[in-house]
A and B are shown apart, each in its own frame.
Chain A
Amino acid sequence: MAEYNQLELMICVAARNLEDGSTVVVGTGAPCAAAMLAQKTHSPNICILFEAGGVAPILPAMPISVGDSRTFHQAIMASSMPEIMETCQRGMVDYTFLGGAQVDMYGNINSTMIGTDHSKPTVRFPGSGGANDLASLCWRTMMMTVQDAKRFTNNIDFITSPGYLQGGNSRYEAGLPKGTGPYRIITNMAIMGFDDETKRMQVISINPGYTRKDVQDNCGFELLWADTINETDAPHESELRILRTEVDPDRYIIGR
């Protein structure tokens, strides 16, 4: 079996979730790598969008900003932020990837602050950026993150971007578009989805080398478990080769 690191695994798993012909809004880093890998493997016609306006670029290198020149290099369109966000609001964007400092069992994400006083935070983060918009308006939201009990917590300090809010039907009752919401949480240990009824986070497969106990011990809330739990298909030689030689040859994202 091929040797790989945690990021390579998460990027390969994320890429497999992006089917050909779909649209995906990505940020810099691992999500962009996943979209590029999908494009160079099973999804040659995936349409990659960047929130500053880039539509379907032929990426010559990994962007350093979601608005830099790379994000519209030989693109179909160099548009605007309203154009991208309104395309999401119209229901034309299938996937997005988000990150954050905390995530709870309903997939709500914090990227704003740690602390109890909003006007004087203990730790201030960048804030929503486009994250709230993409989580609200894209059909399926995914998250790629290293898993630990501090990050996966129900004591989330601030809900920056909506998951299933308080679970059940609460997301749609709040006014967010029907049928949208968190789809996959891809960690170094496991892949999670969400239970249809309760909308709670539910493990669907465990990554090679980890146990059920590892996955639960590194999560601050009780996880649900699918009826059948498979072992995650490890990165294939062919995926790793493309990831390392074509997607991220300088190893900015996958590391050295």
Chain B
Amino acid sequence: MNKKKIAQKNNKLKSGQNELFTNPDADVAREFFRTKSRALKPKLSTVEEIVRTYLHDGDYIVIGGFGANRIPTAILHEIVRQGKKHLGFAGHTSTHDFQILVAGECFDRCDIAYIIGLEARGLSPNARRYMESGKVKITEWSNATLSWRLKAAAMGLSFMPARNLMGTDTFKYSASKEIICPFTGQKYVAHPALYPDFAAIHVHECDIYGNAHVYGASVSDQDLAKASKRVVLTTERIIPTEKIRQNPEATFIPFWCVDAVVEMPFGSYPGNMPYEYFSDEEHLREWLMIEKNPAEFKKFIDKQIFGTKNFYEYLELNGGIEKMKKLRAIELLYDQK
């Protein structure tokens, strides 16, 4: 059967039946980006101020990195601490980031690619309870789909054609639509562009304007920075702008995407930060174990998040610099004395 015939046969194109939580309209996005500052100005801020200023109840948010790798933990804790509610969330291989936001019941609608699990570490009992409670509106996608939805937005478009999802229940409970290629007659699935309200990304280094370097697997973070209306960075360290200008091909995120910057050494803890420190597997295991008992878990969160004033206190509570040195040795594959 040639492609034309397939197209004729499938003249009844299917649509995913679940809710699209964000507006894919490229002109609406352009109107926003028209007003976004392009000024090369200092953007240093604090975690407290960023979450208070740039994130509002009901916003749709995305988190950079990959679940427990290069995540902006300080921002996640602060979202819980400030009691942000009714957020929309992109579960794009979200693992420990998901656990933190579930602990605060911060979101009530979720685009799902990967949630609840912590990959080889097992499943989060608390996240599972929350997602089985019926409190969260959900739409199904896949990792590539969310990547491509962000890419469509990063390109200033309203959708991206692709060849995944078709024929499955993942498609049925998505909000994508089948289309026919006008050139070849091939059937594709059109994934709606995802323009988030707020993105938080942890980077290795950036200058005070938000020009950032990232090392290691970049997941979808370049598209995430371009697609999102407000973008905040936490960074392992601030570097002088000369270092950016000496090596401009290394600029991973340019300043005009970025609204605010916070220097936050060890900011991905307890997650892995490539070439800096490995994940704290003991702490992540403890977190997963304690979640089995909701009362104990509440005490744990009270101590770890509500009982700490900021991220430095959380680091101290869990071993401080001495622990960080151990995690650096694991990351860099040497034996610590």
A residues with a Cβ closer than 8 A to B are 27-29, 50-54, 60, 63-69, 71-72, 78-82, 85, 89, 108, 112, 118-133, 136-137, 158-162, 165, 169-171, 173-177, 252
Find out whether the CB atom of B173 lies under 8 angstroms from the CB atom of A118.
yes
B227 to A: closest C-beta gap in Å: 12
* B-chain residues with CB within 8 Å of residue A54 when the two chains form the complex: 217
Mark B148-175 against chain A: 1 for CB-CB distance below 8 A, else 0.
1001000000000011111111100100
* B-chain residues with CB within 8 Å of residue A169 when the two chains form the complex: 1
* B-chain residues with CB within 8 Å of residue A80 when the two chains form the complex: 147, 217-222
Find out whether the CB atom of A177 lies under 8 angstroms from the CB atom of B143.
no
Of the candidates A119, A129, A161, the one whose C-beta lies within 8 Å of that of B168 is A161
Find out whether the CB atom of B166 lies under 8 angstroms from the CB atom of A136.
yes
Mark B74-116 against chain A: 1 for CB-CB distance below 8 A, else 0.
0000000000000000010101000000000000000011111
B residues with a Cβ closer than 8 A to A are 1, 6, 9-10, 65-69, 91, 93, 95, 112-117, 119-121, 123, 128, 131-132, 134, 137-138, 140-145, 147-148, 151, 162-170, 173, 178, 186-189, 215-223, 272, 274-275, 278-279, 281, 331, 333
Distance of A79 Cα from B65 Cα, bound (Å): 13
Find out whether the CB atom of A68 lies under 8 angstroms from the CB atom of B218.
no
- Tally the A-B contacts, defined by beta carbons under 8 Å: 207
Closest A residue to B154 using CB positions:
A82
Find out whether the CB atom of A85 lies under 8 angstroms from the CB atom of B144.
yes
Find out whether the CB atom of A159 lies under 8 angstroms from the CB atom of B120.
no
Distance of A132 Cα from B165 Cα, bound (Å): 6
* A-chain residues with CB within 8 Å of residue B275 when the two chains form the complex: 69
**Residues of A contacting B: mostly:** loop
Q: Known: A52-B66, A69-B272. Is A64-B279 also a contact (CB below 8 A)?
A: yes
* B-chain residues with CB within 8 Å of residue A67 when the two chains form the complex: 65-67, 69, 93, 217, 219
Q: Which of B148, B164, B178, B218 has the most CB of A within 10 A?
A: B164
Distance of A66 Cα from B6 Cα, bound (Å): 37
Find out whether the CB atom of A127 lies under 8 angstroms from the CB atom of B115.
yes
Q: Known: A65-B272, A131-B142, A133-B143. Is A81-B220 also a contact (CB below 8 A)?
A: yes
Q: Which of B138, B216, B223 has the most CB of A within 10 A?
A: B216
Write 17 A-B pairs (CB below 8 A) sorted by A numbering.
A64-B281, A65-B120, A66-B119, A67-B219, A69-B216, A80-B147, A81-B144, A82-B223, A120-B132, A121-B132, A125-B117, A127-B116, A128-B114, A130-B114, A130-B144, A160-B169, A160-B170
Find out whether the CB atom of A136 lies under 8 angstroms from the CB atom of B279.
no
Find out whether the CB atom of A159 lies under 8 angstroms from the CB atom of B168.
yes
Find out whether the CB atom of A173 lies under 8 angstroms from the CB atom of B143.
no
Find out whether the CB atom of A112 lies under 8 angstroms from the CB atom of B217.
no
Find out whether the CB atom of A124 lies under 8 angstroms from the CB atom of B116.
yes
Find out whether the CB atom of A165 lies under 8 angstroms from the CB atom of B167.
yes
* B-chain residues with CB within 8 Å of residue A128 when the two chains form the complex: 112-114, 140-143, 170
Q: Known: A65-B66, A69-B274. Is A78-B168 also a contact (CB below 8 A)?
A: no
Find out whether the CB atom of A175 lies under 8 angstroms from the CB atom of B166.
yes
Find out whether the CB atom of B278 lies under 8 angstroms from the CB atom of A124.
no
Find out whether the CB atom of A65 lies under 8 angstroms from the CB atom of B119.
yes
Closest B residue to A53 using CB positions:
B217
A150 to B: closest C-beta gap in Å: 18
* A-chain residues with CB within 8 Å of residue B151 when the two chains form the complex: 82
Q: Which of A118, A126, A130, A159 has the most CB of B within 10 A?
A: A126
* A-chain residues with CB within 8 Å of residue B333 when the two chains form the complex: 60
* B-chain residues with CB within 8 Å of residue A63 when the two chains form the complex: 120
Find out whether the CB atom of B163 lies under 8 angstroms from the CB atom of A175.
yes
Pick the 8 closest A-B CB pairs, nearest first. A67-B66, A174-B167, A53-B217, A175-B187, A129-B114, A133-B144, A85-B144, A128-B142
Distance of A165 Cα from B69 Cα, bound (Å): 34
Distance of A82 Cα from B146 Cα, bound (Å): 10
Q: Which of A125, A129, A131, A132 has the most CB of B within 10 A?
A: A132
Closest B residue to A120 using CB positions:
B134
* A-chain residues with CB within 8 Å of residue B168 when the two chains form the complex: 108, 132, 159-162, 165
Find out whether the CB atom of B217 lies under 8 angstroms from the CB atom of A79.
yes
Of the candidates A51, A161, A173, the one whose C-beta lies within 8 Å of that of B170 is A161
Find out whether the CB atom of B113 lies under 8 angstroms from the CB atom of A129.
yes
B104 to A: closest C-beta gap in Å: 19
Find out whether the CB atom of B162 lies under 8 angstroms from the CB atom of A89.
yes
